[in-house]
Structure 1
C-alpha cells in the first residue's frame, strides 16, 4: 500500500450536510451499488460520495502539503504526496463540514499515520529487517501519548521525537487536533492508533516467520490495521461528540468495526489491482486468499469483493437497526461512517496513489 519511495531519505531509528434526524439516516442507508473505475476492479456494493467540492478539496490538500513540508515528512517526495490528493479524500469522506480547518485537523492525523506505513512498514518489508518495526512503532505511540521522563532522560527523549519526522508529525497532529477534539475524542484516537500499530507489527511477525497468515487471521489483523483511526474522527470533524459510553457499546463497536474493515478491504482490492497481482511485498486479502486456496488473482479479487460487500451490507443493516432507538447523535455518527465509506471508495477510484 505504500505509495512513496522513501529509500532516498534515510529513516532515523458548525457542521452542515448530514443532519441529525433518524429520517436522514434512513435515506443515507438506501442500498446503492457503485462501480469503481479501475478496469480490473469488480463492481462493489458501496454508497456514492455525498458531495464533491473540488475547490474545498484543493484548499485542504494545499494546506496539508504545506504542513507535511513543515514537519519534514515526505521530503523529496512532496510532489507525489500532493498528487495523491488527500485533501480530496478528506472533502469526500467528511461531507458534514465545509470548514477547511477541521478537515485539515483530520488530514494531519491521517498523513502522519500514512507516513508510518510509507516509512516504517515499507522499510520493514523491503530491507529484510522486519524486526526493526516493533521498536519504531512503540516510539511512534510514545510520541502521541507522551509521559514525563525522569529528569536525566527527558531532554534526550524530546529531542529524538522532534528530529524523527514521522514521530514528530504524529506528535504534532494529535496536539493540533486538540483545538477541535475533546479529551475523550483525543484519547479514543490514541487507542485506535495503538490498535493500528499492533496490526502493523503483526505483519512484521509474519515476515520474520516467512509464512503468510491464514485468511481468518489476516481478517482479524486487518480489523485493527484499517482506516479506523481516520474514521473515528467523524464526530470531531463534524463538530459534535459521540459519548465514550456510546462509542464503546458492543453493538455500536461491532458496526464501527464492520465499516472499518470494509473500508480497508476496498483498499486491498485497489492495491492488488495496482500491483497487478504481484506477491511477496504486500499482504492484502487477495494475496492471502491466493496463498491459502491456490486461486487465480482474478478469482481472489472477486472473492475479496464479495467479502467487502458482505461487510458493507452487514454494517448497513446494523446501522439501520441502531437508529430505531432514536438517538440523534448516534444516528448522525452512523450516517457519517456511511458517508466515509462512499468518500473512501470515490477517492480510491480516482487518486493517482492507486491509478497510476
Structure 2
C-alpha cells in the first residue's frame, strides 16, 4: 500500500492558528522572496531568476524594440535563499516524519531515456521554472485510461474529434502537474475533471458548437452534475435523467463521482465553489461577446480571476492523497496564493494560445488583445506587456507563498504550497511543449 501522507480524514489541526500572521519584515516590499520552492520529483527549480522589466507605457520610456530586447535578455538577479525558509519549505525531518512529505508512489519513477531537450520553445522573457519530461510510464497509462473513459464510457467526444483529443495530450499534462500523486488512480482524479471541464468549454462556450446565447442555462444545469439538486421525489427523476443528456453533463457527473470517491467533504465543497467561480467567469466573457464589449484591462483581469485554472491546483491535495484542512485552506493568505497561481497560469494560456485564437473566427478576447485595444499599443507591444503582467503575478505568487510558509509552517500547508508550485510549473511545461495546439507569434 502506498503511503498517502497526511490522513485524508484529518480536517483540522490542533495547532492551527485562528489567523495566519506574517512574520516581522514580511510586509509588502520586505517579505522574504521565494527564489525557489522546494524541489519535487522532476521539478528542478533554479535559485536565480530574471528581474522584472519595466512595464512599457505609451509615450514614456523605451521603445517597443528596446523592450523586446530587454525581454529577450532579462537581467540576472541572484537571490540567496534563506536557510531557515528553505528548512520550512522542505518540511520536517527525522524519525516519524516521512509521511509528511510528498506521497510515496506505487511504483518507482521511470529513468529518463535521454537528456534530450524539452519539446517546444518557451516564450522569450517569460518567467518560469523548466521541468523535466514527466514519467513516460505514467503518461502512457493515464493517456490510455482517460481515452477509454472519455470515448467509450461517457462518450464525451465523437470519433471525428479523436485527433484533437490526442493532440491535447492530457495525460502528459496531468502527470507533469501532479508529480506527487501516489497512484495512477489519484492522477485520474485530475485527468477526468480536466477533460470534463474542457468538454463543457468546447461544447457550451467555444470550439465545438458553443455560443454565448443561452450559456447561463446550460452551465446551471451542468453545474448540478457537480452540486446535486435536492428536490422532491416527483421531480428528481427528470433531473437525474438530464445528467446523461449531453456530453458535458455526462463527463461532469462521472468525473465528480470519481472525485467524491477520493475526496473529503470539505475538499468536495471547495472544488464545487471553485467551479462556480469558473462558470461565473464564462458568463462574464459570454456577456461581453454578446454586446461586443472590449473590457478595460482591469475588467478583463477580474474576469480571468474567475475564468481560469483555479479548480485545478485547488485539488492538489486530493490528488496527492492528503488534505489541507478547511480552516487553513480558507485563510486569506492561502486564498491569495491560490488566486495568484491561478491568475498567472491563465495568462500563460493567453500567451501560448494567442496565434491559435487570432486564427479563429470573430474577436477572441485575451490579455494582449485587450491591452492593444484599451492602451493603444501595437500587437507586439501588447503581447510583450502581457509577458510582464504574467511575470509580476508569478513573482507575487512566489513571494506570498514564501511568506505564508514562514508564517504558518504546518506540514499540510507546506506540502500544499509545494503542490501548487508544481502545478504552476507543469502547466507552463504543457503549454510550451504542446506544439500540436500552440505556436508563438513572430515578435522576436
1:116 to 188, 196, 200: 200
1:40 is displaced (CA, Å) by 8.8
Residue of 375, 387, 392 corresponding to 1:310: 392
Task: Please state how far the C-alpha of 1:237 moved relative to its aligned partner.
Answer: 0.7
Secondary structure of the corresponding residue to residue 146 of structure 1? coil
Structure 2: distance between partners of 1:40 and 1:91: 19
SS state of the match for residue 115, structure 1? Answer: helix
* Cα 1:277–1:214 shift into 2, 3 Å: farther
Query: Larger helix proportion, structure 1 or 2?
Result: 1
The answer for the alignment partner of 1:56 in structure 2 is 138
Residue 419 of structure 2: which of 318, 330, 336 is its match?
Answer: 336
8 Å CA contact retained: 2:296, 2:374:
yes
Contact 1:258–1:312 (Cα < 8 Å) also in 2 = yes
Deviations 1:216-269 (A, max 9, x none): 011011011111111111000111100111111111101110011000000000
8 Å CA contact 1:29–1:338 kept in 2: the answer is no
- The answer on 1:224 being equivalent to 2:286 is no
1:183–1:26 Cα change, 3 Å: same
Matches within 5 A, 1:51-90: 52-69=134-151, 70-76=153-159, 77-90=161-174
Worse-matched range after superposition: 292-301 or 112-121 = 292-301
- Structure 1 residues 275, 229: CA separation in 2 closer, same or farther (over 3 Å shift)? same
* Unpaired segments ≥5 residues, structure 2: 6-33, 40-44, 51-71, 73-117
Alignment of 1:200-211 (within 5 A): 200-211=282-293
SS at match of 1:229: coil
Question: TM-score, normalized by length of structure 1?
Answer: 0.87
For 1:300 and 1:162, locate their aligned partners in 2 and report how far apart those are by CA, in whole Å.
43
Corresponding residue to 1:157 among 216, 239, 242:
239
User: What residue in structure 1 maps to residue 61 of structure 2?
Assistant: none
Deviations 1:285-319 (A, max 9, x none): 11111111121222111111101110111111111
Contact 1:15/1:238, CA 8 A, preserved across alignment = no
Give 2:101's aligned residue: none
Q: Aligned residue pairs: how many?
A: 336
Compared CA separation, residues 338 and 178, structure 1 to 2 (3 A)? same
CA deviation map 1:196-220 (0-9, x unaligned): 0000010111012211111101101
CA-based RMSD? 2.7
Whole-angstrom CA distance in 2 between matches of 1:264 and 1:208 = 23
Structure 1 counterpart of 2:376, from 294, 298, 306: 294
Q: How many Å separate the matches in 1 of 2:423 and 2:336?
A: 17
Q: C-alpha distance in 2, partners of 1:121/1:131? A: 9
Which residue number in structure 2 is paired with residue 193 of structure 1?
275
TM-score, structure 2 length as denominator? 0.70
Determine whether 1:166 maps to 2:248: yes
Q: CA deviation at 1:335?
A: 1.0
CA contact (8 A) 1:196 1:226 kept: yes
**Partner residue of 1:268?**
350
